[in-house]
Amino acid sequence: MRAVVAECKLPSLPSRADEAKSMAENIGYDVVDVLVQRRKSDHHSYFIGPGKVEELKEIVDAKKVETVIFANTLPSSQVFKVQQRLGGDVRVIDRNLLILEVFDKRAMTKEAKLQIKLAKLKYTLSWGREFIKLRGIMGEQVGWMGPGDYPFQEYYRAARSRISRLEAELRDLNRKKEIARARRRELGFPMVALAGYTQSGKTTLFNRLASESKRVGLGPFTTLSTFARKVRIGESLSSEFILIDSIGFIEDMHPTIVKAFTSTLGEIAHSDVILLFVDASEETHVIVRQCSSMDKILREIEADARIIVCANKIDLVGAMKLEDTIEAIRERFIGTTIIPISALTAGNLGRLFEAIAAEINDTRSAARPKPVMSRGSFN
């Protein structure tokens, strides 16, 4: 499917055009152009300026583009106006709907599929009346009679009842997971969860420790469902634990999407230890942003686990860059153990195992209650 990525680059936000392009290409879009406009604030009608919309229309017409992907989060009214301006059958989606399309492509389990449906419905519900006039954007009909000819209330009621049904189904699945989680706790195994930005190498470590062959490296959100395996990293009792792999983070994840994944993220929040992955080969200013974003998400899900930050992919970086990386992480995660590793080449895993065993011993020791995480300030 031919697509154009458009972005209104605002001074307060980093550009997301490259990220959107790579996500789109990853799920099969042929991105024929990228259009970025720098503005002090977004245009009230089209988000980008009217002149830029004309430019966009020319590209869309000339290159027979079917989908316009905004790298920003757009209010429904602006999506609607851009769509009207472009005319024809051109679909207009924003960054959050693109993320949900990626999720859709990757979802393997029933739970992930339900979570995505729920997120889509909730996100598009808030887009209101204009939004549902756009054809094909939801990927599925929600029970209204067709564009132009529906009572909005009817759509709204159908969508709300669908949301309630999905929530009930998810609660049911979550109860079953709770039972499994409680059983694992009864057996006395500590829980160690992998968390961190998408594509930072979590599943690569999971596969290595659990002798598994889960999918890695397919692009953003390769893993969407939670997997838990019992692993042993040494001889002592404290070297046995349940390792949990789960969904990765992305900057500025929309609250509705985070909320839909509450139960999946709960696996991270309720673990004893979190191995927080950072891709050490990313540019340092990106690492700074990612650390801030991960810190925010961990707070949102009220994670109270101990944290070990894994600066992964050290096989790709020199000593000086690694120092910069560690410094950037330390600024955000003050007082937290940071271990440089390579999940791919098994570099420095011995030190990581020691740190995990130490944290597990600590949490298990009745004499030393679990301290509150000591981290940098929240913004």
Ligand X SMILES: Nc1nc2c(ncn2[C@@H]2O[C@H](COP(=O)(O)OP(=O)(O)OP(=O)(O)O)[C@@H](O)[C@H]2O)c(=O)[nH]1
At 376, is the secondary structure helix, strand, or coil? coil
Looking from the CA of 40 toward its CB, the CA atoms found within 13 Å total 0
Q: How far is CA 29 from the centre of its chain?
A: 20
The per-residue DSSP string of 318-358 comes to -HHHHHHHHHHHHHHSTT-EEEE-BTTTTBTHHHHHHHHHH
Residue selected from 52, 118, 195, 201 as contacting ligand X according to rule CB under 6 A: 201
Q: In this complex, which beta carbon is closest to Mg ion, that of residue 71 or of residue 107?
A: 107
Q: What does 343 bind: ligand X, Mg ion, none (CB cut-off 5 to 8 Å by kind)? A: ligand X
Q: In this complex, which beta carbon is closest to ligand X, that of residue 142 or of residue 344?
A: 344
Q: In this complex, which beta carbon is closest to Mg ion, that of residue 220 or of residue 266?
A: 220
Instruction: Enter the tokens of residue 117.
Output: 């449906």
Instruction: Taking each helix axis as running N to C, give the angle between helix 262-269 and helix 110-125, from 0 to 180 degrees, rounded to the nearest 10.
Output: 120
> Does the protein bind ligand X through residue 343 (CB under 6 A)?
yes
> Does the protein bind ligand X through residue 315 (CB under 6 A)?
yes
Of 114, 115, 60, 71, the C-alpha closest to 93 is 71
Of 263, 232, 268, the C-alpha closest to 110 is 263
Residue selected from 203, 246, 264, 336 as contacting Mg ion according to rule CB under 5 A: 203
- DSSP collapsed to 3 states, 60-123: HHHCCCCEEEECCCCCHHHHHHHHHHHCCCCEEECHHHHHHHHHHHHCCCHHHHHHHHHHHHHH
> Does the protein bind ligand X through residue 199 (CB under 6 A)?
yes
Query: What whole-number distance in Å separates Cα of residue 132 and Cα of residue 152?
Result: 9
> Does the protein bind ligand X through residue 190 (CB under 6 A)?
no
What minimum distance in Å lies between the beta carbon of 330 and ligand X? Answer: 20
Q: In this complex, which beta carbon is closest to Mg ion, that of residue 222 or of residue 325?
A: 222
Query: What whole-number distance in Å separates Cα of residue 103 and Cα of residue 113?
Result: 8
Residue selected from 34, 316, 322, 373 as contacting ligand X according to rule CB under 6 A: 316
What minimum distance in Å lies between the beta carbon of 214 and ligand X? Answer: 8
> Does the protein bind ligand X through residue 313 (CB under 6 A)?
yes
> Does the protein bind Mg ion through residue 264 (CB under 5 A)?
no
At 141, is the secondary structure helix, strand, or coil? coil
What minimum distance in Å lies between the beta carbon of 223 and Mg ion? Answer: 3
> Does the protein bind ligand X through residue 312 (CB under 6 A)?
yes
Residue selected from 216, 269, 288, 322 as contacting ligand X according to rule CB under 6 A: 216
Footprint on residues 220-249 left by Mg ion (CB under 5 A): 222-223
> Does the protein bind ligand X through residue 290 (CB under 6 A)?
no
> Does the protein bind Mg ion through residue 200 (CB under 5 A)?
no
What minimum distance in Å lies between the beta carbon of 217 and ligand X? Answer: 3
* Total residues at interface with ligand X (CB under 6 A): 22
> Does the protein bind ligand X through residue 72 (CB under 6 A)?
no
What minimum distance in Å lies between the beta carbon of 249 and ligand X? Answer: 8
Per-residue DSSP letter, 126: T
Q: Which range of residues in 183-191, 217-225, 322-330, 363-371 is near Mg ion by CB under 5 A?
A: 217-225
Q: Which range of residues in 29-37, 133-141, 214-222, 324-332 is near ligand X by CB under 6 A?
A: 214-222
Q: What does 80 bind: Mg ion, ligand X, none (CB cut-off 5 to 8 Å by kind)? A: none
Contact of 206 with 245, CB cutoff 8 Å: yes
Query: What whole-number distance in Å separates Cα of residue 147 and Cα of residue 191?
Result: 49
Q: Which range of residues in 30-38, 43-51, 124-132, 198-206 is near ligand X by CB under 6 A?
A: 198-206
Contact of 201 with 312, CB cutoff 8 Å: yes
> Does the protein bind ligand X through residue 287 (CB under 6 A)?
no
Looking from the CA of 371 toward its CB, the CA atoms found within 13 Å total 9
Residues of this chain that bind Mg ion (CB under 5 A): 202-203, 222-223
> Which residues lie near ligand X (CB under 6 A)?
198-204, 216-217, 220-223, 248, 277, 312-313, 315-316, 342-344
